[in-house]
Each structure stands twice: as structure tokens, then as C-alpha cells.
Amino acid sequence: MKVTSDKWQLANDTQARSAQRDDSCHLPHVTRHADAFTLIELILVLALLVIITSLAAPPMANFIRGRAMDSEARRLMALMHAGQSRAVSEGMPMVLWVDDKQGAYGLQAETTGRAGDPKAENLSVDSTLQIAVLNAGLSAPATFNNLPAIRFLADGTVDESSPQKLELTDSAGIRRWLVVTRNRTGYEISDTKQ
């Protein structure tokens, strides 16, 4: 009897496994849709980007233009400090000349030998800016090679015949001035015309 019950058990197990296989074949197919953007969603996102860019562009342009102006003013101030330092250390006047027509400026010893000044510096103003010399000194204005010049004396002070102001102007008409200090020890950057 035991043999028959084992066969019966084996037959039941086989039928159960077969039923499970059949049930798994009859499960409904689940399809997955990939997450994607619709054309309308993409157009809306692009429209938002255009709006944000159009709002941010003018302030960004002003920021970049202002950076060029500030950078040029600091570079000019650095050259002035270098001129004062050279005048004191070498014991001879230095001139910082300005060529507003060519958009250039430079530093050179007032008197040079045959070989010229080996430490002379020539710089160009940023292409978006213009430089101008305002308010020539009280007496005959200081010049160097027929160009207006700031003259630094051997004690580091600014000569009285030097210009009172230099003006930097950008393409939008925004201006910065480099104004001689009251004690004539140098120049300072100003946002207002004094």
C-alpha cells in the first residue's frame, strides 16, 4: 500500500508543478513606459529659459562693463604707484603719459640715456573704454613727447603742473575719475566728478 500512496503523492506533486507553470504563463503582461518629456513640456521649459535669460542679460552686461572699468582704473593706479616708487628709489622724476587718441598710457623716466628707459612700460586701454586728461595743472601743463603727463618728483609727490584728473569712460557713458589727492601724494579713484 505504501507504494501506491507514494505513486499517488508523486502524481499529485507533478500535477501541482504543472499547474503552477500554466498559471504563470497566463499572468497579464505588464509593460513599462519609459519616463520622458512631452514636446509641450520641452517647449515650456525653453520658453522659461528665454524669459530668464532676457531678464538676466542687461544686468550681466552692466556687471561685465563695470568690471572692465574697475580693472582698468586699478591697473592705472598700480602704474601710478610704480611710478612713485621708481621716482623715489632712483631719485629722478618719472612721467606717466596719456595718449587719449591712441587709447594708451605708459610710464617712463623723464630723462633717459641713449638706450632709453629699460623699465619703461606702455599699456593700452581696454577696447571698450576711453581715457582723457582733464584739468591741466595750475601752471604750464606737464607733457612728455607732446602728450599730457603726470610727473612724479623724486620725493614721490605729484608735480603741480600735472593733470588734476584722468577720466575713464565706457561705451554706455559710465565714468570713473582718478583725482589727485589734496596733499599731492598720489591719485584716488572716484565715482563722482568733484
Least confident range of 101-110, 113-122, 137-146, 168-177: 137-146
Q: What CA–CA distance (Å, rounded) separates 12 from 2?
A: 15
CA distances from 23 to 11, 18, 89, 146 (A): 18, 9, 99, 103
Nearest to 179 by CA among 192, 162, 166: 166
Strands 143-144 and 175-180: unpaired
- The model's pLDDT over 57-72, given as tens digits with 9 standing for 90+, comes to 777 766 666 678 888 8
Of the ranges 25-29, 139-143, 181-185, the best mean pLDDT one: 181-185
pLDDT reported for residue 174: 83
C-alpha dihedral over 55, 61, 66, 68, to 10 degrees? 160
- The model's pLDDT over 75-131, given as tens digits with 9 standing for 90+, comes to 999 999 999 999 999 999 999 999 989 999 999 998 876 777 888 889 998 888 889
Give the number of other CB atoms < 10 A from CB of residue 123.
Answer: 13
Enter the DSSP assignment of 52. H
Please, what are the domains in the chain? 39-190 (3.55.40.10)
Contact 189/176 with Cβ under 8 angstroms?
yes
- pTM, full prediction: 0.64
**Is residue 190 exposed (0-12), middle (13-18) or buried (19+ Cβ within 10 Å)?**
middle
Q: In the predicted model, what is the mean pLDDT of residues 168-190? A: 86
Q: What CA–CA distance (Å, rounded) separates 181 from 81?
A: 13
Name the strands in the sheet holding 147-152, side by side, starting at the edge strand that comes first in the sequence. 121-124, 104-109, 94-99, 147-152, 143-144
Q: How many residues does the chain have?
A: 194
pLDDT reported for residue 14: 61
More confident residue, 61 or 168: 168
Q: In the predicted model, what is the mean pLDDT of residues 51-58? A: 82
pLDDT reported for residue 17: 61
What average pLDDT does the chain have?
Answer: 80
Residue 12: band (very low, low, confident or very high) from pLDDT cuts 50, 70, 90: low
pLDDT reported for residue 193: 60
Q: What CA–CA distance (Å, rounded) separates 4 from 1?
A: 5
